[in-house]
């Protein structure tokens, strides 16, 4: 492992208990391992969001700026959403 730096953090009691539970279960050897694992997951999530923005959102935004006629109207969007809502709630039991 690379050089480490000691840090001190304050956590809500619920998060602290969760860390203790993970260590006590044997899933992690130490609370530091739990925190490192959580930070790795956060880094992976942030990297995934960055990839999505770069690979999917930006190209669509650029294409829409280049050719605004590709856009659909807000009324069309809401019509589709309303239809989807009706479809998904059809037959649903309503509780007063």
- pLDDT tens digits for 37-82? 999 999 999 999 999 999 999 999 999 999 999 899 999 999 999 9
Greatest distance between any 2 Cα atoms in the chain? 60
Q: Is residue 32 within 8 Å of 23, Cβ to Cβ?
A: no
Structural domain boundaries in the chain: 14-89
Q: How confident is the model at residue 93 (pLDDT cuts 50, 70, 90)?
A: confident
pLDDT at residue 95, as a whole number: 72
| pLDDT tens track for 19-44 | 999 999 999 999 999 999 999 999 99
């Amino acid at each position: 492992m690379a050089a480490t730096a000691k840090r001190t953090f304050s956590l809500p009691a619920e998060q602290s208990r969760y860390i203790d539970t993970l260590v006590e279960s044997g899933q992690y050897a130490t609370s530091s391992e739990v925190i490192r694992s959580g930070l790795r997951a956060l880094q992976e999530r942030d990297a995934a969001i960055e990839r999505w923005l770069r690979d999917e959102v930006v190209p669509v935004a650029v294409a829409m700026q280049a050719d605004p006629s590709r856009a659909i109207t807000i009324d069309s969007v809401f019509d589709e959403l309303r239809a989807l809502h009706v479809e998904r709630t059809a037959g649903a039991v309503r509780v007063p």
